[in-house]
Structure 1
Amino acid sequence: MRWTVKPIPEKTKIKHLQEVLGVDATIATLLVQRGVETFEQAKDFFRPQLSHLHDPYLMKDMDKAVERIEKAIANGEQILVYGDYDVDGTTAVSLMSSYLLSVYSNVATYIPDRYNEGYGVSYLGIDFAHDNDFTLIVALDCGIKAIDKVAYAKEKGIDFVICDHHRPGAEIPDAVAVLDAKQEDCHYPYDELCGCGVGFKLIQALGANRNQTIEDLIPYLDLVATAIAADIVPITGENRVLAYYGLQVINSNPRAGIKALIQNIKKKELTVTDVVFVIAPRINAAGRMKHGQHAVTLLTETDVNQAEVYAKEIEEFNQNRRTLDQQITEEALEQIKELKEENNSTSVVYQEDWHKGVIGIVASRLTETHYRPTVVFTKSGDKLAASARSVIGFDVYNALEACADCMEQFGGHMYAAGLTLKPEQYEAFKAKFEAVVKATIDTKLLTPEITIDAELSLESITPKFYRILKQFEPFGPGNMTPVFLTQSVQDTGWGKPVGETKDHLRLVLDAPIPGERTNITGIGFGLGAKYELVTDKKPFSVVYSLDENEWQGNVSLQLKIRDLK
């Protein structure tokens, strides 16, 4: 691991915050690093308010989108709410359909089949709409590149309202309205919303027509917070407000479907991390293993008992998904070993019988293991479909764009993308992707990096310090969990490898200070092999974040160790 300590911000800014907030230098430093430099900014950061949300009508085409939906309601038209099969898409469809159904009955949902239709707007979906007399499709988390599909729908008398957050191409679809803050001529103040977030802005605008306030829409925020966490968008600005209040809904009064998914979690308060690792994989599992519509059915169910039945089915999908992704990851790792491409800057693997629903997870696992931009292919009909994942600091979307002549289509973000190509294009793509990445990546990005926020002494770790740190939540991109470095610590002799296979390392640390001792427990997952570095009271440096350990009713602070040397 590369350890990179963030530069210390301007001392005058730190000192100012210390004085106006009455906090210590470390807390002030962490705030300035996050762009918080004044009392007012700190107030907004620590106490997000729904009033901080922007006027939805600042988004380009919002007035057109509202006008077309209101016209459909007034004329009794059939509205189809269409979205992708991942967490962002299914939560967005659940949000939009349940809101529209609260004011109007002619509303249905459509999630494309991952295998027969693939990602985004499909011709099959438009044919379904036409065959069933839908005249308006509201597309969420997709559609910004669906030029031909929207034109095809128009020929059939079907209008589109697009709510997307992906990067647009050179041409924008000829829809009635295109809501996407990443359009160059859209001057909405925040362009990092997820698909479900854009959907929320639309229901906010629709609600304004019905004299609804933002408070009336709070029950929908459990879906928005789930999408923000799962889609790994920055938890800054508007997303921070939406996630903050959405987590409150999840922890106090979630919808029946989410309640059913989290009922077995023995935790007082769920965080963004819990949403990412508990709720999101289960919602995703429906689209990966069966069909994304199962997730929408769960998330729109209002009866708690029925929701529990749906949640059990989804839990089974998730168990099957886990078995499959483990097996395919092992096969992919073996393939990488056999290819003997150690000097490559990329990993590109393919097997025709790999399950399309888990190749994204496998790509993430391979990236964690080999730490280089990775593409995992499988057969999908007469094409090859793939998921791409990247390492921190490298834009895989741009790299794929440079390989456009070797692909049929692609889309995505800086760190995750999907693509399809013809079987005969595979070797050319593999060679070009490797060449593009090798030519453009900074080689240091191929070594995992730990970014350290600040140095900290063990005696500074107090309950009060941790209480203030907790108020930095919700954590996520743009506001990551603070990571600290303490140098010249030693294990008291109580340290040992733990876990069934001794993969983890439990330490009791001490930094000898004249006149006092400071013992604190730390746990390092996956660091069992480093035990030799800490024996015999040898001094070492440790990088960690802070959390609480609950054991037999006692709660104590502990270090969550990321690395040591």
Structure 2
Amino acid sequence: MDKRWVIKEPGDEETVSTLMDSLGVDRLVANLLVQRGITSFDSAKKFFRPSLDDLHDPFLMKDMDKAVTRLITALNNQERVMIYGDYDVDGTTSVALVYTFLKKHFDYIDYYIPDRYSEGYGISLKGIDFAAESKVTLVIALDCGIKAMEKIAYAKEKGVDFIICDHHTPDEILPEATAVLDPKRVDCEYPCDCLSGCGVGFKLMQGLSQQLNWPFENLVPLLDLVAVSIASDIVPIENENRVLAHYGLIQLNNTPRLGLKTILNLAGVEKDLTINDVVFKVGPRINAAGRIQSGNRAVQLLIADTMDSAKLIGDTINVMNEDRKELDHTITDEALDRVAKSQTLLAKKSTVLFDRNWHKGVIGIVASRMIETYYRPTVILTESNGMATGSARSVDGFDLYQAISACSDLLENFGGHKYAAGLTMKLANVSEFQQRFEEYVQHNISDDMLVPQIKIDAKIKLSDITPKFYRLLKQFEPFGPKNMTPIFISEDVVDYGYSRQVGRNKEHLKLSVVDDIRDGNVISGIAFQMGNMYPKIAKGSPFNICYSLQENEYMGKVETQMMVRDIKL
């Protein structure tokens, strides 16, 4: 797939120069900082040296006082409390975090994860009935609930109070819960509106601790769960999230809880765990439980208090993850084949596919994989409980949530954000939804948005890639949205003579390149799925290369190498 290279605007010249002088760094590093909004010595200090002292006061969040007051009342009166959360990574880590912390102080506490297939996303009537039957008087809903107006009203009739801790976009009218914690509320002035659901749960526990004068140190062991949620839910790693992710990774690398330690062992991650490792190796395994069987298994793993129980559950979840992989590859192949064989579908600017036999647990992954081949807004639907239910994914710059909102009269419910959403509709509405969604996309998407772009931070020479430069670059971590791994281009590089095809089918390209044959500054790199370019590169013709940098360790030797994103001859 052809890609557009878009070089970011350089930082303001005067600001870059000032930062160079105050930090004692070169222009390239100063420019990378300014591009990220780091424009002063003080902001650079906070960026490079995150501190838990920089976490915001939880009571700046709207309704935090109400939530903490209700929770303390429940604690004092020894009420039955239920922790309720979604079945994905953010939901299950949220439940594990709040349950683990409160279990030390509440005698009567339990948790509840809705079944993806019989209950669907969010707060369910079945869950409310279970709470009422169990004499639960307070439910803390995590990573869901912001749109559950009718469900919360039903719970109120049953004598069940709700504290909602969510981070999804709310409607104009909020549920009539005891407290609604959501930094995206229009009337909430909390300084960080991009927390994960688990992050909001953490702030509630911080607020409770603050009110009862419990030491903050008791909260630190929970940060491994917060980091996993931040990475897996792909929220911006800026502001408070950067602090939480930084210390969460320290916790994960040094003293992870038993359940996460088990997952890391199964994933083969031994040291220097990064956000990228969490996204691709940890998150999918936690998610697999809710996709294939039940999110309860994920919570059981995350709160396990013996290594034997953690290993037993971890092994089971690992098998589920293998099943998940097989399912999503099979369904993706079917979906790709359906589009490839239809001129009508090929001509569209969106992909909306429905198949009643597709597995509900993997359709979100399938939607993401479809975009890798057909780069356009995508909705994958299947049948569940007599309804069409699906997951939607978007492309850079296109507001998927608004597109789905424009079709809301056809939907039973929906929720999400700009780039990912879930939705449910009557089976009879699928055809009209396909048509209306396509019409909205056609009128609101530009041709540029339909071509994947690579955002490039700077154009550099290979001689700029020094050990000192890479050490400074490492301090930009943790990387993620709003602080992505820097991407560079180098022009007119040539094969030094050692490049070759690698992989079982020679599908990858191992590079060894220079941009000036005279200085012998050879940089190696790996280009996945670009093995077919080798014959042209081997001829010695110059080419432009787009890449990020990483460390590669082989036989005890560590070197900086390029992770190639694209090549243009």
Aligned to 2:311: 308
Aligned to 1:360: 364
Native 8 Å contact 1:493 1:536 kept in 2: no
**Hey, what's the Cα distance between the residues in 2 that align with 1:385 and 1:501?**
38
Aligned to 1:258: 260
**Hey, what's the Cα distance between the residues in 2 that align with 1:529 and 1:118?**
44
Aligned to 1:389: 393
Aligned to 1:245: 247
Q: Unmatched 5+ residue regions in structure 1?
A: none
Native 8 Å contact 2:264 2:270 kept in 1: no
1:268 deviates by 2.1
Residue identity matched to 2:108: N
1:427 aligns with 2:431: yes
Aligned to 2:325: 322
1:216 deviates by 2.3
1:532 aligns with 2:559: no
1:103 deviates by 1.2
**Hey, what's the Cα distance between the residues in 2 that align with 1:288 and 1:295?**
11
1:513 deviates by 5.7
**Hey, what's the Cα distance between the residues in 1 that align with 2:9 and 2:374?**
28
Aligned to 2:509: 505
**Hey, what's the Cα distance between the residues in 2 that align with 1:192 and 1:214?**
22
**Hey, what's the Cα distance between the residues in 2 that align with 1:207 and 1:297?**
25
Residue identity matched to 2:562: L
Aligned to 1:489: 493
1:497 deviates by 1.7
Q: Secondary structure at the match of 1:536?
A: coil
Q: Secondary structure at the match of 2:396?
A: coil
Residue identity matched to 1:150: I
For residues 6-29 of structure 1, what are the alpha-carbon distances to aligned partners after superposition, in whole Å with 9 as ceiling and x for unaligned?
111111111111111111111000
Aligned to 2:480: 476
Match of 2:467 among 463, 483, 500: 463
Q: Secondary structure at the match of 2:341?
A: helix
Q: How does 1:508-523 map to 2 (within 5 A)?
A: 508-512=512-516, 514=518, 516-523=519-526
Aligned to 1:369: 373
**Hey, what's the Cα distance between the residues in 2 that align with 1:174 and 1:210?**
26
- Number of residue pairs matched by the alignment: 564
Residue identity matched to 2:102: L
**Hey, what's the Cα distance between the residues in 2 that align with 1:171 and 1:511?**
59
1:266 deviates by 4.5
Match of 2:44 among 42, 45, 55: 42
Aligned to 2:339: 336
Aligned to 2:162: 160
Aligned to 1:208: 210
Match of 2:172 among 145, 170, 173: 170
Native 8 Å contact 1:520 1:559 kept in 2: yes
1:398 aligns with 2:394: no
**Hey, what's the Cα distance between the residues in 2 that align with 1:296 and 1:433?**
36
**Hey, what's the Cα distance between the residues in 1 that align with 2:216 and 2:464?**
41
For residues 48-100 of structure 1, what are the alpha-carbon distances to aligned partners after superposition, in whole Å with 9 as ceiling and x for unaligned?
00011000000010010011111111111100100000000000000011111
**Hey, what's the Cα distance between the residues in 2 that align with 1:441 and 1:536?**
40
**Hey, what's the Cα distance between the residues in 1 that align with 2:203 and 2:385?**
37
**Hey, what's the Cα distance between the residues in 2 that align with 1:68 and 1:9?**
48
**Hey, what's the Cα distance between the residues in 1 that align with 2:419 and 2:51?**
30
For residues 177-231 of structure 1, what are the alpha-carbon distances to aligned partners after superposition, in whole Å with 9 as ceiling and x for unaligned?
0000111111111100010000000000111133223332110000000000000
For residues 434-461 of structure 1, what are the alpha-carbon distances to aligned partners after superposition, in whole Å with 9 as ceiling and x for unaligned?
0001100111111110000001111111
Native 8 Å contact 1:167 1:183 kept in 2: yes
Aligned to 1:438: 442
**Hey, what's the Cα distance between the residues in 2 that align with 1:503 and 1:369?**
17
Native 8 Å contact 1:383 1:422 kept in 2: yes
For residues 339-391 of structure 1, what are the alpha-carbon distances to aligned partners after superposition, in whole Å with 9 as ceiling and x for unaligned?
32222110111111111000000000001111110000111011011100011
Aligned to 1:412: 416
Aligned to 2:294: 291
1:153 deviates by 0.3
For residues 89-114 of structure 1, what are the alpha-carbon distances to aligned partners after superposition, in whole Å with 9 as ceiling and x for unaligned?
00000001111101112100000000
**Hey, what's the Cα distance between the residues in 1 that align with 2:458 and 2:514?**
19
Native 8 Å contact 1:489 1:511 kept in 2: yes
1:198 aligns with 2:207: no
Q: Percent identity?
A: 51
Residue identity matched to 1:185: D
**Hey, what's the Cα distance between the residues in 1 that align with 2:269 and 2:86?**
31
Aligned to 2:83: 81
**Hey, what's the Cα distance between the residues in 1 that align with 2:524 and 2:241?**
34
Native 8 Å contact 1:190 1:238 kept in 2: yes
Q: Secondary structure at the match of 1:408?
A: strand
Residue identity matched to 1:289: I
- Higher mean Cα deviation, 238-247 or 336-345? 336-345
1:397 deviates by 0.6
**Hey, what's the Cα distance between the residues in 1 that align with 2:248 and 2:550?**
22
Native 8 Å contact 1:490 1:539 kept in 2: yes
For residues 139-185 of structure 1, what are the alpha-carbon distances to aligned partners after superposition, in whole Å with 9 as ceiling and x for unaligned?
00000000000000000111000000000112100000000011111
Q: Secondary structure at the match of 1:145?
A: coil
Q: Secondary structure at the match of 1:188?
A: coil
Residue identity matched to 1:326: H
**Hey, what's the Cα distance between the residues in 2 that align with 1:221 and 1:529?**
44
- Higher mean Cα deviation, 143-152 or 518-527? 518-527
Residue identity matched to 1:315: N
**Hey, what's the Cα distance between the residues in 1 that align with 2:341 and 2:513?**
42
Native 8 Å contact 2:479 2:485 kept in 1: yes
**Hey, what's the Cα distance between the residues in 1 that align with 2:88 and 2:351?**
24
Aligned to 2:544: 541
Aligned to 1:90: 92
State the superposition RMSD in angstroms.
0.9
For residues 381-429 of structure 1, what are the alpha-carbon distances to aligned partners after superposition, in whole Å with 9 as ceiling and x for unaligned?
1101110001111111110001112211110111110001111101100
- Higher mean Cα deviation, 489-498 or 525-534? 525-534
Q: How does 1:2-151 map to 2 (within 5 A)?
A: 2-151=4-153
Q: Secondary structure at the match of 1:153?
A: helix
Q: Secondary structure at the match of 1:13?
A: helix
Residue identity matched to 2:538: T
**Hey, what's the Cα distance between the residues in 1 that align with 2:250 and 2:488?**
28
**Hey, what's the Cα distance between the residues in 2 that align with 1:414 and 1:213?**
38
Native 8 Å contact 1:121 1:149 kept in 2: yes
- Higher mean Cα deviation, 336-345 or 144-153? 336-345
TM-score, normalising length: structure 2: 0.98
Q: Secondary structure at the match of 2:183?
A: coil
Q: Unmatched 5+ residue regions in structure 2?
A: none
Match of 1:276 among 273, 276, 279: 279
TM-score, normalising length: structure 1: 0.99
Native 8 Å contact 1:50 1:214 kept in 2: no
**Hey, what's the Cα distance between the residues in 2 that align with 1:237 and 1:533?**
45
1:263 deviates by 1.7
Q: Secondary structure at the match of 1:362?
A: helix
